[in-house]
Structure 1
């Protein structure tokens, strides 16, 4: 059992600063993603951040990538403004080395290997758990860099309506609403949202030489999205409960393209799932979960300006079914054993005729979590049997020690792997069926604790040092004109975060130092991996004064390269955001945010524009 002060020292402030300082708000959050079991974040021996609903609304964020970029160890590269595709990279690994779950269900495109996080509606999200570091020993493929799990709103308690409306720059308008409740044993939530913006010119591409999007179309690229969510559950007793959930997001966006690539996209993401939890014995919890996700991406070419006909270009579809059975057994006080089976079946379709259009995977995993006084030990292993690439084994081990001064130190080691995508394996004229999974080894030294501050000041800190080596990276091989396991990388990093709370003030900051080195043979050996900054810093300052609350965020991102050859440099940039809100009463608030106050011109991907200074106004009602 952790010392009570430890629950404060490792608490939510490192991820979710509080508004009103009360004892209950200083307790650290319970997370489930790090170990697939519910436990306080400080006991996971993993680097975890939680972005809860209060934090989402405090930041007045408009997208998931916008929220994630505020975390240490996270790099975001977006191809334009609102609604344009965004790549999220954890700890310098590739964007397809991140496993994304929605309420426990795998989501994303099996052809690309990534998830359209920019299309997931922020209005429907209750919290986001981000675990940095390999988690393949619990989840299988894709979790080399970590896991991002998004939880939709749950509801419960008295019947409660909510709504919000907003306006802003670039012709932006938003509206969302919902209803939640359930009473003592039940819980439910229903929600819907709509967003529309005229956007900005996404790309300043060049046709000769080809760069960026390859075209110059100096027009605004608009974006429209709508989503609905539903979640409901019932606890029959303390030993049995069931829950169902649904999330659907539809979007339409314009982008700068050509008759070959298209310049309009329509996307759809849907997730449904159900979970049954039984506790046959006090020491035994049995969970059965099933889910299905869809990813549908359609591309069109709008040729009206050229006097031609609009036409359909391409369609890519993914359908994923998953089934999981997990047993958690307490074999002694402070000793928990988990055994489970995961089954997944991926199917793709659309306009591309793949050699294979389906594959399944069966994973068996086990985990031991033990507490021995000041020591904590976590061990896990997993065997995956994939229809295409065969068997693969991963494992992890972590040992933590809690000193008498409430400083915790943990050393961990883990392996990970990433299965090739359908594009890499089967895309006509390009795929290579002989590809092996990408593999990784990671080691991390982590420490955290409470800052020794005077008076009523409370502070926490966290520090992580890590190294990840990735082998058999898949890249285009010019000798065979096909993808091959020809690349490797070594990534070293330091992440530091701290927060201080004093009465109505909150000051938080995080620093990331990264050395993402390309270790591939050839001309690029020793270069930096593209679009990862070697240094990034974020500072947050917030104050509550009666009915008012105001805050500022400063983000500094260092220079990066956009290409493997390190010939195209992206300049460093500084973003300053200001925010304020006024509470008319406990239910009604008016929020205002001035983004990019300095009107910084910057790029996260070469020749793709980012929004300048912009003001947004939101009215929120929730009793």
Structure 2
């Protein structure tokens, strides 16, 4: 019989402190061991060859970057057994998440404690955002189609413009290569979870392609705690299709096209008896022309569009955001120097159809931008400088800049320092809805950070300290100049996101270890209070190994207490959860995967009155001929 999750907070402040402190000591004790262990140089060479696109918007070797970057590849995604994009991202340093229920429910990602809307998100170069709530709608993105994730922590507005106050997350679908490679996967789990996916990829001669289909559903659990909400299970259904096709016209010219469509139908508890449902649609498309004009000069011309639609039944509400981007990017490489120049146009549209309570809302805006970049990698020195000027149809001009420097003290040790400015324009809903204030100004950020990193083979230790201050913060306040008597949006806030992140990886006796510890103080500068749903201390620790052909892995997450409201009166207790996963090749072409989340069946909340799923079990099979 299904266990009803209780709203009672079981973790005491002392117990939480002990758990998080234990992880801190474990990571600290690992530091000297990692610093003294020498392993094969092949691992280092592989890492140095890996390229990253997101940090500067052009492909660069990871070793050349000064930015604070994490990469998650497809092998890691599949081995984890995770079912949601934000569940994978939560494994990374400097990341906290919250979710209003289970899979298919609204979720938030906080990079270095910054608001969820302060992270710019792209899918195959297509910008994703909501001009209603602000920020990407994470539950619309299907993990089944994602092949790689790149996360850049720290402001990147000088490269990407509005939104990138806390960082950038870019998601990539699979690119086809080689002989045709089909695959089929199925999975079952408790809470009525069922998944199926299929696809094929390949490439030969001029054409490469990757096609994928997936469907997942779950009966779920009751997502709201309390007598005022419907006690029925709240499940979801998601269907997704994607395609990526490349045409290599010749050695110097290439055309790429991407399409993705995802439909999500999920239940939520908005009343005591109604079958309340969310309906999500996400459509993305992009077309790019890449030209290599000479050994040192290349260009990229790209046109993209995303449509994000959200509606509810039986109480009708609908909002639809359409985003279009036009990009011309130039890249010159002259020895150790890299010059970039880009022209970009962004167009945002919002449509909220009329309801019984409010009239129709349909607004649009545009931004034209010029972005310049310079990078230097010579000997022990690495430098990255960026300037960008955005001309908004509503606010006029806005300039941003960033400067980063890294110095390799030894081949293993490197120190870095960076500073940058950023902004986010208010959403069209925040300005023109019944709660809106047309005079709202962009939120503005100013960041500084320093870091050090040691790496040797498969072992590494990194330490980053940062401070990001945001002014003109948009909050929802009391009734004022807007049409609503309930409340209005206003530029009255100031926030500071300050902290230290320690991260480490190590391999010893056939076991790969990874972990991170964050100490931070995301706070409202006016009241001095802690920002909602963000803990001051949180940590992750993971390990995996191979035993008799089985990949065995474990993850531990620990969080100190959080508050659910700005007044810091509603406490969300600290928690620790343990997840296990395993996989094994059954013959040549079939792989078995199994995962247990929340092994101890802990009762905790990341959003007040919203339950979490308790212990969940998932088993899957994937057929992929080799």
TM-score with structure 1 setting the length: 0.89
- Contact 2:64–2:377 under 8 Å retained in 1: no
Say whether residues 1:605 and 2:618 are aligned partners.
no
* Counterparts of 1:421 and 1:283, CA distance in 2: 40
Say whether residues 1:394 and 2:400 are aligned partners.
yes
Say whether residues 1:436 and 2:441 are aligned partners.
yes
Residue-by-residue CA offset, 1:564-621 (whole Å, 9 max, x unaligned): 0000010001110111112113421111111110100010000100011111100012
Say whether residues 1:314 and 2:317 are aligned partners.
yes
- Contact 1:112–1:422 under 8 Å retained in 2: no
Gapped regions of structure 1 (runs ≥ 5): 1-12, 14-20, 207-214, 302-311, 452-456
**Residue 478 of structure 1: how far off its partner (Å):** 2.1
221-230 or 482-491: which moved more?
482-491
Distance change >3 Å, CA 515–CA 163, structure 1 → 2 = same
Structure with larger RCO (C-alpha < 8 A, sep 6+): 2
* Counterparts of 1:263 and 1:597, CA distance in 2: 30
* Counterparts of 2:231 and 2:545, CA distance in 1: 41
Out of 513, 536, 555, the residue aligned to residue 534 of structure 1 is 536
- Contact 2:230–2:274 under 8 Å retained in 1: no
**Residue 371 of structure 1: how far off its partner (Å):** 2.2
Out of 232, 241, 246, the residue aligned to residue 245 of structure 2 is 232
Give the match's secondary structure for 1:159.
strand
Q: How does 1:297-446 map to 2 (within 5 A)?
A: 297-301=310-314, 313-330=316-333, 332-352=334-354, 353=359, 357-428=363-434, 430-446=435-451
Say whether residues 1:289 and 2:310 are aligned partners.
no
**Residue 328 of structure 1: how far off its partner (Å):** 0.4
* Counterparts of 2:597 and 2:476, CA distance in 1: 39
Residue-by-residue CA offset, 1:375-410 (whole Å, 9 max, x unaligned): 111110111111122211100000110122421111
Residue-by-residue CA offset, 1:92-128 (whole Å, 9 max, x unaligned): 1111111110111111211111212223111111101
**Residue 28 of structure 1: how far off its partner (Å):** 5.5
The residue that corresponds to 1:92 in the other structure is: 113
Distance change >3 Å, CA 49–CA 317, structure 1 → 2 = same
Out of 229, 246, 250, the residue aligned to residue 263 of structure 2 is 250
**Residue 360 of structure 1: how far off its partner (Å):** 0.9
Give the match's secondary structure for 2:155.
coil
Out of 555, 577, 580, the residue aligned to residue 579 of structure 2 is 577
- Contact 2:246–2:257 under 8 Å retained in 1: yes
* Counterparts of 1:416 and 1:461, CA distance in 2: 28
404-413 or 245-254: which moved more?
404-413
* Structure 1 moving runs of 4+ over 6 Å: 21-24, 259-262
The residue that corresponds to 1:563 in the other structure is: 565
Out of 435, 455, 460, the residue aligned to residue 450 of structure 1 is 455
The residue that corresponds to 1:468 in the other structure is: 468
Gapped regions of structure 2 (runs ≥ 5): 1-33, 35-41, 481-486
- Contact 1:474–1:487 under 8 Å retained in 2: yes
The residue that corresponds to 2:58 in the other structure is: 37
Distance change >3 Å, CA 288–CA 261, structure 1 → 2 = farther
- Contact 1:157–1:184 under 8 Å retained in 2: no
**Residue 549 of structure 1: how far off its partner (Å):** 1.0
* Counterparts of 2:425 and 2:250, CA distance in 1: 41
Residue-by-residue CA offset, 1:347-390 (whole Å, 9 max, x unaligned): 12131446651111111100000123211111101111111222
Out of 84, 104, 108, the residue aligned to residue 83 of structure 1 is 104
Say whether residues 1:136 and 2:157 are aligned partners.
yes
Distance change >3 Å, CA 263–CA 419, structure 1 → 2 = same
TM-score with structure 2 setting the length: 0.89
Give the match's secondary structure for 1:257.
coil
The residue that corresponds to 1:4 in the other structure is: none
* Counterparts of 2:291 and 2:423, CA distance in 1: 32
The residue that corresponds to 1:263 in the other structure is: 276
Distance change >3 Å, CA 40–CA 205, structure 1 → 2 = farther
Give the match's secondary structure for 1:404.
coil
The residue that corresponds to 1:591 in the other structure is: 593
* Counterparts of 1:29 and 1:539, CA distance in 2: 24
Distance change >3 Å, CA 277–CA 458, structure 1 → 2 = closer
The residue that corresponds to 1:488 in the other structure is: 494
The residue that corresponds to 2:21 in the other structure is: none
The residue that corresponds to 1:306 in the other structure is: none
